[in-house]
Structure 1
Amino acid sequence: MKYWSIKNEQPKESIDFRALGLQEWEFRILVNRGVDTKEKIQNYLHPSMDHIHSPIALKDMVKAGNLVQSVKGKIRIIGDYDCDGVMSTTILMKGLRGLGYDVDYRLPHRREDGYGMKPYMAEEAARDGVEAIITCDNGIAQFEAIQKAKALGLKVIVIDHHQLVRREGEEVLPDADAIINPHQEACSYPFKGLCGGALAYYFINYLYTISGNIETMDKDLIGFAALATVCDVMELIGENRDLVTCGLEQLNRSQNIGLNALRDAAGIKGDIDAYHLGFILGPTINAAGRLDTAADGVELFLTEDEDFAKKTAAYLRELNRKRQDLTTEGLARLEKQLASPKERVQPIYILKDETIDESIAGIIAGRIKGKYHRPCIVLTSGKDGLKGSGRSIDAYNMVEQIRKSEKYLSSFGGHAMACGLSLRKDQFIAFKLDAIEKSDLDPRDLIPRVRLDTIMQLDKVSAETVERLNRLKPFGNGNPKPLFGATGVYVSQYRILGKNRNVIKLELFYNQARYDGILFMPADEFLAFANEAKAPDGSLCIDMAYVPTIDTFNNRNTLQFQIEDLRRSKR
């Protein structure tokens, strides 16, 4: 059972939406996404980098720029092994090289090093004659490592977007020479939701500006920042939407050898959009850091060798296929645990399987969370016991709730929707029971919700509707694909397609007109629904949550309704 509702957010001021060229349903969608003033609507409909605030407003941006300009020797970038870390590193490498700096990089290995800069990385840098270290997508909590670097006489710049460490309510900062992080209390930058890649891009943009070389800056860097933004699941609102929109435009005209090799290896035809970033290119880049070394991703985007690019892109795609297989296998094993009625009814799932690769624990937790609408933590074998990741639902702030049981954990960190943690094996049962007991979830929180933007019956939808919807892209976190509702729609017939029997083509009827529908659902689930929902006369009448699309086949465009959810109609 799912709870259906219609969003009904209100604008902050009186707005004549028709004067802005909007239809009422478009206006409702925008207001539902917090685009609730005339200025916000204008900016949303006309995304531009002109909307970006001056990078000087970022605390320590000027200080960091001056420091880099004073460097005479080698600079080392220390990044992260996920897509944001890879793209941040790439942006800094290409940007600094373009300005003539002697620069290299070091990415931690997920298993051997763990997350973030370590003290021995500072020692390595000192031995290698490095003058300055720039961390990206990490550093804000790497106190010991940065202290070591400073003790060795190195200059340190931190570029990070993660939340600051707090002790007794007070923010605690590492002893770096400059810290670019919008979450600092002393940072006045208006938009706080930037990822590491975006901050790295702003920093490089600032360096080129003050050096008088802005016209020579690699135009692809904004595309790499867009890739980082989408893949780090940042909200596609405000500056992020401007950045991703402009970044996608650049990616689609990019001549970067590595990017285009990856695009070809992934079989992407036509323009790259946010879906390709989040579900094809991003996971492929992430696969390097999950199963091998993330440096392969950086080298792919830095190379000028087409043969190397093709081989590396093919290798990363193969790693991603391996990651997908490992995910499927691990998910199947945990599904067996959830077959237990006692386990299934828990308000939060805390599952353990020491055979699962630690690099995919978070992916599996996310899959289980999505299927059962429960917060989920997946634990597997780590260096010193158990290690894992969690993914959450809106009603459960994971970092706040799990912190109540932190006494059982060796390490813990995260945010409202995700966390990482480790613990001794003998603490597993105690931690699990304590976290479940303190979950504070109302049974109503565990009912999946279908939140419609508006009701629009099928006979009110046209190809123009789809064209207008496309103006609202890119869709993603914070700017979800709009969801329409229609009631009293008859299903006259259907066909089950796909090798996995999970594509349902439907013939729909409403108000004496025929329409095409498509539904992605396992055949057995759909058939069970259809049998239960049929009326005594054998007819099947549904309410549907849908997205209107255009299906192109043999150069012919047809209006098609992609059904995201359905229920038996009360008509």
Structure 2
Amino acid sequence: MKLPNQRWDVISPNPEKIQLLAEEMKISDLIVKVILNRGIDTSSLARIYLNPNEEILPPPLAEFPDLYKSISLLTRAIKEKSKIAICGDYDADGMTSTSLLLRALKYFGGDIHYKIPDRIKDGYGINTQIVENLAKNGVELILTVDNGISAYDPIQRAVELGVNVIITDHHDIPKKLPPADAILNPKLLSHESPYSGLAGVGVAYILALTLAQTLNKTEGIIASLLELFTLGTIADLAPLIGVNRRWLKQGLKQLPNSQLPGIQALIKVSGISDEQKQLRSDDIGFKLGPRINAVGRIGDPKVAIELLTTDDPELALEKALECEEINNVRKSLCEKIEKEAINLVENTPLNYQEKRVLVVIKDEWHHGVIGIVASRLVERYGVPVFIGTYEENDIEKIRGSARGIPEFDVFNALQYCDDLLDKFGGHKAAGGFGLKRKYLNSFEKRLSEFSHQHLKLHHIKPLIKIDSEINFKDINHNLYETLDSLQPWGIGNAIPIFWTPNVIILKQKIIGDNHLKISLVQNDGEKIEAIAWRFGTYYPLPKQLDIAYKLSKNSWNGKSNIQLEIVGIRLPESINKEFQSTFEFNGRQYICSIKDKILKIKNLQGKTLSIYKGQRKGLLENGYEKIKTIDVTHQPYYTIVKMALHSLKL
């Protein structure tokens, strides 16, 4: 029997806090648990969480020290018709940021251009060659989006060439800031600031919104800016806290009726229902976002930029179909690389549990998708993953991506190896790196050394954080709608996960691409349907289980019902626990135990009788030699079994 090797963390808030907050807010204990588990522990914070628009926001000009200077530089450039160039990035955050500012600055009358670095040739972010080419073409103001905070040398070169630079970024702050004219980065703000969790597109949104207000040109542009902010923020997995959560609630309502042809075309090709009154974060995270991201990973980012900036519905549909085609290629690449990576992990001595880190390197993998595969390997094995492949034109160089687990800091791990790396970057949960092939063994040893300092062996399992135990009778449309009102779900506001013990499987079958469809019942007779994505590997499941799950709504032919999306399964403690006892019969001593419904009775002569619960036949063994199958309803076995069960109090 094969089951997922998971660790469950059932979060248990203080009961007094639960009661106090439930009384103050007049909401159920279960919803209070969900709120407390997301770090919301006072009634004032809970009110803002439940109604984000009630929070009084400080004006961005008061929070970002360089925002006024940025507005002044842009206002002057627009007025003087100076050439402005946006230098973006090839991920969804970078491309939506670029599109947002292209739309805004064009609307405000700016002479605006853009440059997205080539993933293979240029790598991430602005570089000196890009700066020199832009200056050569008469650019007087460079505006970075979703990059630039670590680009000291390129920015210094821009200064030498007399080009003004505004950096808008959200990545970690380096020891030495670049000599830009203005820097907008939420990492420079207090952690308490409601703007501290902005992604790159959020910083671009703040800049464009403030510029629109300064120029008194808000009409006709604000809605489209909010929609691009929504698309980029969720696709970039930004924390859904502070202004992110507030603005996303508005943006998700707007998106189904978007006036942007590109977003309407993207919604159409991704198969999102026309009947949805508002989009959910999953619609962007699993449908719209991947189609944008795929273009930057394995295609030409210009496709996505044209999609999001055009006002021509026909061109928008053409570009959306290109995104769809590229995304299908991306999915095939991911599946192929994931299978090859799993084969390497499970059929070669990588010893990731012993090393407490998984390093997987193979040639001819696509640089653009290995980060996605790294995330899937983390989900599968629950271990920090560093995955890489050799450069296309230089097999002596490796480029890779890293993904972590909650107890592991990817950026600190890369810093621990900095003398072995040509380049690296990232944050706690994810990063990228490059190194020479000759340093690979040393890199693996150093990462393992770092991992042993921060991880225990029990950490090397996929973690499921659970909000509360509930019964099937508690699950209804009212609970689902109440939970759904707490959307959007994502980083910093995780979708609630519940668990129910000792459920019985009535039916189970494999459907689609290795998924399980399951009918479940509790002891009190309450039944419910469930789906377990990618759990076909564990078919057939045992008859009795503990399950961890999310709630979802399944709509079909005008009818809807609440179903479970299973994320975790384990044997119930009552099944998995082993009970032992001793007794005497006819002057002989016996040791008896029961585990996984199997009763074992041993005597001091080394003989063992094994009987599965409910069976008449048992197996009598002597060491490793099978002696015979016997009927335990016959004497003396019947009495021996009865005495064993009595001894075990069963």
TM-score normalised to the size of structure 2?
Answer: 0.82
- Which consecutive residues of structure 1, in runs of 5 or more, have no partner in the other structure? 167-171, 531-539
2:342 and 2:528 mapped to 1: Cα distance? 37
Kindly tell me: are residues 13 and 78 of structure 1, through their superposed partners in 2, closer, same or farther at Cα, counting changes over 3 Å?
A: same
User: How far off is 1:330 after superposition?
Assistant: 1.2
Determine whether 1:515 maps to 2:528.
Answer: yes
Q: Which of 22, 45, 48 is 1:17 aligned to?
A: 22
CA distance in structure 2 between the aligned counterparts of 1:61 and 1:14, rounded to whole angstroms: 44
Aligned match of 1:68: 74
- Residue in structure 1 matched with residue 510 of structure 2 by the alignment: 496
The one-letter code sitting in structure 1 at the alignment partner of 2:511 is L
Runs of 4+ with >4 A deviation: 10-15, 185-190
Q: Which residue pairs with 1:54 in the alignment? A: 59
User: 2:205 aligned with 1:196, yes or no?
Assistant: no
- Contact 1:408–1:431 at 8 Å: present in 2 too? yes
- What corresponds to 2:237 in structure 1? 233
Stretch of structure 1 that moved more, 515-524 or 366-375: 515-524
- 8 Å CA contact retained: 1:140, 1:160: yes
Distance 1:198 1:204 in 2: 10
Deviations 1:131-162 (A, max 9, x none): 21111101111111111111111111111111
Which piece of structure 1 moves more, 255-264 or 302-311? 302-311
> CA offset at residue 19 of structure 1?
4.1
Structure 1 position 341, deviation (Å): 5.9
Q: Distance in 1 between matches of 2:469 and 2:365?
A: 43
2:467 to 453, 468, 474: 453
Q: Tell me the CA shift for residue 180 of structure 1.
A: 0.7
- State the alpha-carbon separation in 2 of the partners of residues 349 and 450 from structure 1: 20
Aligned residue for 1:276? 283
Contact 1:409 1:421 in 2 (8 A): yes
Identity %: 29
Partners of 2:508 and 2:336 lie apart in 1 by: 31
What is aligned with 1:562? 565
Match of residue 143, structure 1, among 118, 128, 152: 152
CA distance in 2, matches of 1:368, 1:133: 39
* Secondary structure at 2:186 match in 1: coil
Post-superposition offset of 1:544: 1.5
Aligned to 1:535: none
Q: Does 1:486 align with 2:500?
A: yes
Letter of the aligned partner of 1:117 in structure 2?
A: I
The structure with higher relative contact order (CA 8 Å, sep 6+) is: 1
* Aligned amino acid, residue 502 of structure 1: H
Q: Which amino acid aligns with 1:426?
A: K
Checking the alignment, whether the CA contact within 8 Å between 1:51 and 1:239 is kept in structure 2 is no
Q: 2 CA distance for matches of 1:502 and 1:139?
A: 42
Instruction: Give CA-to-partner distance per residue, 1:180-201, whole Å, 9 cap, x none.
Output: 1122279995532111100100
Provide, for residues 177-236 of structure 1, a one-character-per-residue CA deviation record: whole Å limited to 9, x for no partner: 111112227999553211110010011111111222233433121111121111111111
Aligned residue for 1:378, secondary structure, equals strand
Residue deviations 1:58-85 (CA, integer Å, cap 9, x gap): 1200111111111111111111111100
Residues 454-505 of structure 1 show CA distances to partners (whole Å, capped at 9, x for unaligned) of 111111222211111111111111111101121222222223322x342323
* Runs of at least 5 residues in structure 2 that lack an aligned partner in the other structure: 575-650
Choose 1 or 2 for highest CA Rg.
Answer: 2
Q: For 1:99-498, what aligned pairs fall within 5 Å after superposition?
A: 99-166=108-175, 172-184=176-188, 189-269=193-273, 270=276, 271-340=278-347, 342-344=349-351, 345=353, 346-382=355-391, 385-440=397-452, 441-498=455-512
Question: What TM-score results when the alignment is normalised by the length of structure 1?
Answer: 0.93
How big is the shift at 1:49?
8.6
Moved more, 197-206 or 144-153: 144-153
1:41 corresponds in structure 2 to: 46
Count of residue pairs brought into register by the alignment: 555
Three-state SS of the structure 2 residue aligned to 1:339 is helix
Sort the Cα spacing of 1:257 and 1:69 in 2 relative to 1 into closer, same or farther, 3 A: same
SS in 1 for 2:45: helix
Q: Distance in 2 between matches of 1:161 and 1:480?
A: 21
For residues 524 and 81 of structure 1, what CA distance do their matches in structure 2 show? 35
Quick one: distance in 2 between partners of 1:187 and 1:457? 38
Contact 1:59-1:186 at 8 Å conserved across structures: no
The one-letter amino acid of 1:329's match is: K
Deviation (angstroms), 1:242:
0.9
CA distance in 1: counterparts of 2:194 and 2:489, whole angstroms = 23
Deviations 1:284-327 (CA, angstroms, capped at 9, x unpaired)? 11111111221211111111222221111111111111111111
- 2:24–2:43: 8 Å Cα contact kept in structure 1? no
- For 1:359 and 1:473, locate their aligned partners in 2 and report how far apart those are by CA, in whole Å: 30
CA–CA distance in structure 1, aligned partners of residues 189 and 195 of structure 2: 13
Residue in 2 that maps onto 1:8: 12
